Structure 1
Amino acid sequence: MTETASAAGTPAALAEPRRRVGGRWIAAFAAAWLGVWMAQLAPFQQLLPLQVERQVGDTPWQDSVLAFGVISGIAGVCAIVAYPLTGALSDRTTSRFGRRRPWIAGGALLFALAVFVLGFQNELVGLGICWALAIVGFCVLTAALTATISDQVPVGQRGVVAAFISAPQAVGIILGIVLVTFVFVGDVAGYTALAVLLVLLVIPFLVLAPDARLARADRPPFTLAALIEGMWVSPRAHPDFGWTLLGRILVNIGNALGTGLLLYFLEFGLHLKAADANDALLELVLVYMVFIVIASLVGGRLSDRIGRRKPFVIVAAILQAVAALLLGLVPVFGVAMVGGALLGLGYGSFLAVDQALATQVLPDPADRGKDLGIMNIALAVPQALAPCSAPSWS
Structure 2
Amino acid sequence: MTGFASLPVAESGPSNAHLTGQSKILGPSWLRIPSLTVGLLGVRVLWSVEMSYASPYLLQLGLSKSWMAMVFLAGPLSGLIVQPVIGVLADGSTSRWGRRRPYMLGGVVLCMLSMLLLGYTRPIAGWFTRLGTNSNDTLTIGLAVLSIYSIDFSINAGMCYTCTPRTHLVQAVNRALIIDTLPSAQQASGNAWASRMMGVGGIAGFFLGSIDLPHFLPFLGSQQLGALSAIAALFLLGTHALTAMLVKEKVLLRGDPTSRYVSSPCVLRTMWTSMWTLPRVIRKIVSL
Question: Do these two structures clear the TM 0.5 threshold for a shared fold by scoring above it?
Answer: yes
CA distance in structure 2 between the aligned counterparts of 1:13 and 1:92, rounded to whole angstroms: 14
Given the alignment of the two structures, is residue 42 of structure 1 paired with residue 49 of structure 2, yes or no?
yes
Q: Is the 8 A contact 1:83 1:139 kept in 2?
A: yes
CA distance in structure 2 between the aligned counterparts of 1:23 and 1:230, rounded to whole angstroms: 43
Aligned residues: 224
The two structures have a TM-score, normalised by structure 2, of 0.67
CA distance in structure 2 between the aligned counterparts of 1:98 and 1:222, rounded to whole angstroms: 16
The one-letter amino acid of 1:172's match is: G
CA distance in structure 1 between the aligned counterparts of 2:268 and 2:120, rounded to whole angstroms: 37
Listed one character per residue, the Cα deviations across residues 67-116 of structure 1 (whole Å, up to 9, x for unaligned) are 43221113432332221111211111111111111111111111111111
Give the deviation of 1:15 after TM superposition.
9.8
Q: Is the 8 A contact 2:92 2:99 kept in 1?
A: yes
Q: How does 1:80-159 map to 2 (within 5 A)?
A: 80-122=80-122, 123-140=140-157, 141-159=170-188
Aligned to 1:182, the other structure's residue is in SS state: coil
Q: Which moved more, 1:116-125 or 1:195-204?
A: 116-125
Give the deviation of 1:218 after TM superposition.
6.8
Give the deviation of 1:176 after TM superposition.
0.6
Question: For residue 214 of structure 1, what is the aligned residue in structure 2?
Answer: 252
Question: For residue 70 of structure 1, what is the aligned residue in structure 2?
Answer: 70
Aligned to 2:121, the other structure's residue is in SS state: coil
Aligned to 1:165, the other structure's residue is in SS state: helix
Which of residues 29, 36, 52 in structure 1 aligns to 2:58?
A: 52
Listed one character per residue, the Cα deviations across residues 346-370 of structure 1 (whole Å, up to 9, x for unaligned) are xxxxxxxxxxxxxxxxxxxxxxxxx
CA distance in structure 2 between the aligned counterparts of 1:164 and 1:188, rounded to whole angstroms: 30
CA distance in structure 2 between the aligned counterparts of 1:187 and 1:14, rounded to whole angstroms: 44
Whose relative contact order is higher, 1 or 2, with alpha carbons under 8 Å and at least 6 apart?
A: 2
CA RMSD, 1 decimal: 3.3
Listed one character per residue, the Cα deviations across residues 13-39 of structure 1 (whole Å, up to 9, x for unaligned) are 59999xxx9433311123211001111
Question: For residue 235 of structure 2, what is the aligned residue in structure 1?
Answer: 197
CA distance in structure 2 between the aligned counterparts of 1:214 and 1:73, rounded to whole angstroms: 35
CA distance in structure 1 between the aligned counterparts of 2:187 and 2:48, rounded to whole angstroms: 24
Question: For residue 359 of structure 1, what is the aligned residue in structure 2?
Answer: none
CA distance in structure 1 between the aligned counterparts of 2:145 and 2:196, rounded to whole angstroms: 29
Which of residues 32, 44, 47 in structure 2 aligns to 1:25?
A: 32
Q: Which moved more, 1:119-128 or 1:46-55?
A: 119-128
CA distance in structure 2 between the aligned counterparts of 1:132 and 1:14, rounded to whole angstroms: 37
Listed one character per residue, the Cα deviations across residues 132-188 of structure 1 (whole Å, up to 9, x for unaligned) are 111122012222211112212222221221122222222222211111320535121
Unaligned runs of 5+ in 2: 1-13, 123-139, 158-169, 215-223
Q: How does 1:331-370 map to 2 (within 5 A)?
A: none
CA distance in structure 1 between the aligned counterparts of 2:21 and 2:270, rounded to whole angstroms: 18
Q: 1:218 to 1:108 in 2, by over 3 A?
A: farther
Unaligned runs of 5+ in 1: 1-7, 58-62, 237-241, 254-394
Listed one character per residue, the Cα deviations across residues 328-357 of structure 1 (whole Å, up to 9, x for unaligned) are xxxxxxxxxxxxxxxxxxxxxxxxxxxxxx
Q: Is the 8 A contact 1:115 1:130 kept in 2?
A: yes
Aligned to 2:209, the other structure's residue is in SS state: helix
**Identity across the alignment (%):** 19
Q: Is the 8 A contact 1:11 1:218 kept in 2?
A: no
CA distance in structure 1 between the aligned counterparts of 2:23 and 2:36, rounded to whole angstroms: 19
Listed one character per residue, the Cα deviations across residues 248-268 of structure 1 (whole Å, up to 9, x for unaligned) are x9xxx9xxxxxxxxxxxxxxx
Q: 1:31 to 1:170 in 2, by over 3 A?
A: same
Listed one character per residue, the Cα deviations across residues 209-233 of structure 1 (whole Å, up to 9, x for unaligned) are 1111111327873345753476449
